[in-house]
Structure 1
Amino acid sequence: MAGRGRGSGVLALCVALLVGCGGPSAPDAAPGDVRRLLDRRAEAVLDRDAAAYRATGRPAEAYGNLRDLPLASWGYRLTAFDRDGARATATAELRYRIKGYDREPLSTTRTLSLRERDGQWYVAAERPAKKATEQLWDQGPVTSVRGDHSLVLGVGRGDRATAELRAYADLADRAVPSVRDAWRGKWPGQVVVLVPKSLDGMAGLLGAPASGYQGIAAVTTGEAGGSGQAPADRIIVNPEAYGVLGAFGKQVVITHETTHVATRAHTSRATPLWLSEGFADWVGYRGTGRTAAQAAPELRRAVQEERLPAALPEDGDFGFSGDSGKLAQAYEGAWLACRMIADQWGEERLTAFYEAVGDHKKRPGAVEDALRDVLDLSPEEFTARWRTYLRAEFG
């Protein structure tokens, strides 16, 4: 009897101290708490509830940066959580949609620094994750201006923010009908324009070195091939290069970029830059009355100095390398290639050629097949005609 009593006591002690005997520890409740914290933070953004946002932590100024952003959705999904006592670092996927413009949410990755106080978690800081691009509100308070066919979002404009952004909206509102007239394909017929404070701000939005965009007035981001399951394209302005342009040049740039938005569904990896950039410039200059000599001064100079290009511009020629003349000549040559097609075969044939090239899944053979099927030319014949066209325009 005594032996059985001692054995039962040992068993009872081991059961009571199961964790100490090697059993599993209780799961950390912190990740679930943080998920709920991020849900409250997202709800506060959508509800425009500053007090509720501040209750989730800092930085409080981030709410002010977002206040003028027209949102249809905003939500976080926790993807990683690393705790060190009362401190933690979380990684979350942020998905948001601009009301009236984005067909699907745009996704970006955020890093959040967290602190625990009195059993509650709070956000101490939120920033783009490593290798993720900045968002416009990371650069300051966003000001929004709506046009008839456009939404312009800007930061760092000061007291004249609304007036400056209204000027961009007016340009975009003129660009959309011009593009619709030139490109009859299906597209939303509206654009989102982002205006950062500086070239560095533009580079932050693109996640690339600023040096690559010094001579570029604007770029358009979007999904090549246009699956229909992507957000609206964004036209991102370089205010430094754009600011030195005259009224005519600014309109051409915005019309050019709007063309990229319109043609996105038919622009693929198979589309060479001479075609996508040349077509966009063709739409930009279409109906303006500008002659080749007026719109292509660098190429005109080259031809008159007997430096006629031997071939159409390569993709690499469209990157800014410090030689602004070379970059301008690439764009001018591409524009005149598309202009030649419109002049000699008609505008409908030009758009058919663009679509035929983009319908290929890969670059090899795409231009060759489209030249044969749409224009009944070989690449060598097309290049020869283009060079003859340049001589005729600038001779």
Structure 2
Amino acid sequence: MSTARARGGTRRLVPALALLLLPLTACSDDPPPPASSGTGYDDVSSLMQRALDRRARGLRTHDVAPFRRSLDPADPGLVAEQQTYFDNLVQLPAGELRYEVAADTITPVEGTDDYWAEVVLVLGLDGYDTVPARTRDRFLFTPSRDGRRLVITSTTDHAWETAHPGNVQPWDLGPVRVRQAAGVLGIFDDTTVRYADAVLDAASAGRYDVRSTIGDTVGSVATGVVVYALRDPAFLRGLTDQTVGDPDRADGLTIAVPVDGTDAGQGVASYRIFLNPRVLDQQAGVLGRLVRHELTHATLGARGRGAPLWLSEGIAEYVSVRPMPPTRRRLPARALDVAATATTLPGATQFGGPDAEAWYAVSWWVCEYIAGTYGPPMLLTLLDRLADGVDQAEVVADVLGVTPAQLAQRGVGLMERTYSG
């Protein structure tokens, strides 16, 4: 995205566009409000859409000429930033890519000939999104030199973006390096691309390992998987309150990409994985375990939504260690000490506290106990029964015949017997 600029002064409008927009030049102290179809804004909307169509055509065909023709050439900073965006987008396997102007958001800029409008990007990554995702942005348009067109003069409104977090992707923020392997699309930057082979190998192998344990589950939208591994935290900051745990502290995150960010009812287009750069130089076994954990969440998708964290995270840990020899399945340093204090199954407070890693381990071993006692399919049965925030004590008693406190104690006991001595 380019940086938005304040547009000072009034540009002299050339005759062709002045005639076209004449119905909008009302005598008033305030600019007219955004209007829907049936008003003079239809002409503005049409000109905006033509600029957006040029932009999309250039991106789809990897032809920079129509892409640049949609931009204001008088701003070299904008052109340079948008060239970076073009270079990023043409690396992606875009199966569908188009823009739509939201005509009811068109707003003239007082004292200028410019217009702000919200713009919808419809982007589907071929092999990675089940349906294209629709994301909104806010663009500034201005008349071209010859007055026959509108061109884009900014792709960022900072105030608007602050009010609409989680609306950007890494390729919107700076240069990315894209790499692909079987079923995996990796998004890196200049500082992380040297780890691309290790990440792609871990994710490719991990997809097979996860499916061999839990299968292609009902509720999953996973096809291929997109993995982000970037140094700049700006992308994560936009995900505040949209992830489990603190994005700055997490080694990995699974991110749901909505079909439409303005309408949660339309579901999820894909689940993508973020890997914190600090884990990229870990041994292959450590990186593979982390990737399998996040792939488990991505594969399960919406299944078990609203289930308690101990179960969803415990299942992910349980699946992540399956390909590893038992002697390599290490615990966090404080896991046994923290486990000794467990009186019931951990909740959000424990997962959000300083001993979160240890509580992940407790949850893992509760799931080990469930799988070993009742059989591995019971984990998914329990996940389904505990979805949507139903009463945990009632379901655990009904399905397993124990209380949550007894289940926690038995999981901790199995962990202690496995690792003590």
Q: For the superposition of Structure 1 and Structure 2, which TM-score range results when normalised by the shorter chain?
A: 0.7 to 0.9
Superposed, which structure 2 residues align to 1:12-51 within 5 Å?
A: 27-28=40-41, 29-51=43-65
- In structure 2, what is the equivalent of residue 11 of structure 1? none
SS of alignment partner, residue 123 of structure 2: strand
2:86 to 63, 72, 78: 63
| Structure-2 change in CA distance of 1:308 and 1:204 (3 Å) | closer
1:283 to 319, 326, 331: 319
Q: Deviations over 1:223-262 (max 9, x none)?
A: 79x999531211112213x235332211111000010111
Superposed, which structure 2 residues align to 1:163-202 within 5 Å?
A: 163-186=194-217, 187=220, 188=222, 190-198=224-232, 200-202=233-235
Counterpart AA for 1:345? Y
Of the two, which has the highest radius of gyration?
A: 1
Correspondence 1:363 to 2:389: yes
Contact kept? 1:76, 1:93, Cα under 8 Å: yes
Superposed, which structure 2 residues align to 1:161-310 within 5 Å?
A: 161=193, 163-186=194-217, 187=220, 188=222, 190-198=224-232, 200-204=233-237, 206-207=239-240, 212-222=246-256, 230-240=268-278, 242-243=279-280, 245-269=282-306, 271-291=307-327, 294-302=330-338, 307-310=340-343
Contact kept? 1:202, 1:237, Cα under 8 Å: no
* Partner Cα distance (2:269, 2:409) in 1: 41
- In structure 1, what is the equivalent of residue 377 of structure 2? 348
2:120 to 80, 93, 96: 93
- In structure 1, what is the equivalent of residue 349 of structure 2? 316
Q: Deviations over 1:302-352 (max 9, x none)?
A: 45xxx4222221123323x5x3xx121121111111111112222122232
- TM-score of the superposition, structure 2-length normalised? 0.76
SS of alignment partner, residue 301 of structure 2: helix
Contact kept? 1:69, 1:142, Cα under 8 Å: no
Structure with the higher fraction of residues in helix conformation: 1
**Structure 2 stretches of 5 or more lacking a match?**
1-24, 27-37, 72-77, 259-263
* Partner Cα distance (2:185, 2:253) in 1: 16
* Partner Cα distance (2:212, 2:343) in 1: 33
* Partner Cα distance (2:199, 2:397) in 1: 41
SS of alignment partner, residue 342 of structure 2: coil
* Partner Cα distance (1:156, 1:376) in 2: 54
* Partner Cα distance (1:312, 1:262) in 2: 24
2:363 to 321, 331, 334: 334
* Partner Cα distance (1:195, 1:385) in 2: 38
Cα shift at 1:390: 4.1
* Paired residue total: 355
Cα shift at 1:278: 0.8
Contact kept? 1:202, 1:236, Cα under 8 Å: no
Correspondence 1:137 to 2:168: no
* Partner Cα distance (1:375, 1:51) in 2: 64
Contact kept? 2:177, 2:188, Cα under 8 Å: yes
| Structure-2 change in CA distance of 1:207 and 1:88 (3 Å) | farther
Cα shift at 1:216: 0.9
| Structure-2 change in CA distance of 1:229 and 1:261 (3 Å) | same
* Partner Cα distance (1:369, 1:105) in 2: 40
SS of alignment partner, residue 330 of structure 2: helix
* Partner Cα distance (2:249, 2:39) in 1: 58
Greater Cα shift, 70-79 or 186-195 = 186-195
* Partner Cα distance (2:389, 2:208) in 1: 31
* Partner Cα distance (1:386, 1:380) in 2: 10
Contact kept? 1:103, 1:229, Cα under 8 Å: no
Contact kept? 1:219, 1:236, Cα under 8 Å: yes
- TM-score of the superposition, structure 1-length normalised? 0.81
SS of alignment partner, residue 127 of structure 1: coil
* Partner Cα distance (2:274, 2:196) in 1: 13
SS of alignment partner, residue 266 of structure 1: coil
Cα shift at 1:291: 4.9
